[in-house]
Structure 1
Amino acid sequence: MPETTIPELPQELWRAGKLELAHGVTHLLEVIRVASAGLGKYLAEVESRGAEDLFGYGSASRWFADVARITRGDAQDVVNRALALNPAREPSGEVATFAPATAAAAEDGALGDQHIDAILDVLRKIPDDVPTEERDGAEKILADLARAAGPKEITKAGNDLLAHLDPDGNEPKDPEPAPPRREVFVERRKDGFWKLSGLLDPETGARTAAALDAYGARRPVDDFGQADHRTMPQRRGDAWAELLDLAIACPDQPGTSGYRTLVHVTIGLDELKTGAGKACLDFVGTITAREARLAACDCLMIPVVLSAAGEPLDVGRMKRFVTPGQRRALNIRDGGCAFPGCHRAPKHCHAHHIRHWADGGPTDLRNLVLLCGFHHRLVHHDDWQVRMAPDGIPEFVPPQYLDPLRHPRRNILHRAVA
């Protein structure tokens, strides 16, 4: 097990810089994971020796639950991981470790409990008649992937491996009935916001609540994301906006003909290029120039360029930045949001210009990538960088605090593991 020391924390964390805070979190996370692997070795030894008998307990999990002051269920999970990652001792001799490659990665501090559980779940589903070398190869693939991926990616990769080892069929889907009737009222307030209210029959109301709950689910905290602190009303409001995006993007939708959004932006040319300053949206409100750049990635835009004195210099023509054909090609190539670890499907994604069109970036497949709304804003506002690899697949360079060497990463959730 590698020797890991706890870094000295500043007496007042609020004085620490953002990079120092990020490094502190990643280092302490590694310390916790290394310590968890060491704890597992002790628990496996206690279980194999029956040492819990000395303290009057019938199992190691019951003893550990009292020692750690946790529930028996959580204690059993910890003991189960320990037994899977460490060799057992039987009267006939030592039994081989169930998941040796996963154990090695855990001892390096690279895996958390969710990573380990995802790998073990896949390994336990492999049929007994699969040759040992194929099972060991599958585990090594998952353990190596888990060093730089999240639990969802491990599960997706594991399902792909199981499909090769033990193929399963697809589950049928039940059709949804059409809603009988509904009433919706939309009213614009004096402050520019809109008030939405209505009355729905039981069936339509239940379906609406289910859709808002599904699209408004709290974003999971993974290796690449942040905690979702939105309230339920805020998440449902964002879900409503996402459902509108899906409807507007439909090619058969009347009025917009499949255009994601129609935006009139009144802005100075310098502000649009730099992302600093304000812009007027459809003459009913203001947005930041950075948000105007974000909206311009995948929409219809009529730019109204102003001089320094506010005189309209040019009113541009409506321009479709991503054609339907390009969008279909993007859907096939990326399969969904291309950000590492994101599972969002193509219908929930925007077409992002890697080099922004305001900076001269062309609208072709080598300069486009699918991103969901959350990761689209993250790429525009954070230190993640997007680039196109030589093989024509988009890859993402993480911030320095997340990976000091800044190794490029890809999303493998939408394609099979090689």
Structure 2
Amino acid sequence: MDNLADTLRQVELTLGAVVGRAYRSGELRGLDDGEVLSLVRGASVIARQAEAFLVGAVAELEERGEVAAYPERPTTRYGCRSVKELVQRTTLSSGRTAGDIVKAARAVQQPVAVSTGEVLPAAYPALREAAADGVVGVEALAAVVGTLTAAQCDRGARLVADAELAASARGVGVDGGPRAGADDLRLQAQVWAAYLDQDGAEPRESRALRKRAFTIGVCRDGMVPCRGTLLPEVAAQMQRLFDSILNPKTDGPDTPAGPRFFDGGEPSGDAALEDAVPDGVAPDGAALEDAGDPRSRVMRQHDALAMVLTVAARSGAVPSIGGAAPTLVVSVTAEDLVSGRGHAHLDGCDEPVSLAVARQAACTGGVERVTSDKGGRIVGIEIIDRVFAAHQRRAITLRDGGCLIPGCHVPPAWCEIHHVTEHSRGGPTHTDNGVLLCWWHHRTLDTNGWKIRMNNGIPEIRGPSAWDPEKQWRPVTTSPTRLSRALRARSPG
């Protein structure tokens, strides 16, 4: 009789032949939708069964690392610190996936009693059987087990939840509904955990308070890693702030013929507002997805966090440091700033940053010019106040309405004020020289293809060619007051 290794090898060869046929023969193209879905379902069952086999094998490795009958642990023999590392090396999976496999293995593992050699039942026997039948995979097992194990309840109560969740995965639960997927089982396990935790919510909150964390790493290759675990209310508040900044209001950028573009109360161009080019389409019919906002969701959330931090720093509501508001200190030589070459430095960061960081910081904050001699002795300090006052910000907000870049709908409270003509080049801190830009558009203004100028105190935009092939300067605003005035000017009578 073939052993397990030989049988598994035959399965591997057979499945490999089927996979090669599916990829190379083009046979899939000749199937209808139902037949393709049938293959997807069958492949998913095979995948779960393979995961169950993998989990069972890893459970054996776990057992051999704990039983005295195996004096040399597998991890020691193969030079690994843990079973997780051994699994990661052997399966070539990510650390997270290897961790899930080990977590699932501990749930289905049948330990052997040290004193009697008796095989004991698994911690989650019903889920073990469901895994063996290809009903649940590693993802669902890890999610359920992690949630239930954290609940403070006795084994009997946990076995009840185990049986109910396994039944739900099979589609024969109390509700008699369809088979629960991994996300459904995760949610059901959370409900069970809350129900079974006899200590109630308060001890869980106490544990959460002890585990809350947020760390900022060391800058490497221009990036600073962050990691941590947030309390639910902190995460919810952060998500609300992100939503307020990133709330999508259109499917694409406003076009040059759109209602936010006009000249002195009249819409720009010869076309009437009702004949404007639809959002997301350039005048030549080209799509504008890249011209609008090429950032991914996680990139936009990073930029939203930058806006939140900037607003908090300038609010005056946070504690001072050394008698002054918390201030980002960016240092750069005057020669580098004028020439556009070289680097800037952040206080508390070992790696140099680009001059764009220095220009953005100098555009929105005060400048302290320190003059030193060749030996490094400070010979002069000059304070240059270039921060727009609160009444100037309100006036610019009334004029611009929000971030000036078409397609960006960041509200004015989250925007920075950009000196159109740089202060270092003689640009004044005046409403005729300041426009609202969100953090990201301000940070990338030198490279994102958008150009801004002031024409008699009115901001004008010239966009990239994908947005406006004519490359014309166009007045722009999102101010409801100015847009209403433009519409009234267009109305007959």
TM-score, L = length of structure 2: 0.41
Which structure is larger by alpha-carbon Rg, 1 or 2? 2
Greater share of strand residues, 1 or 2?
1
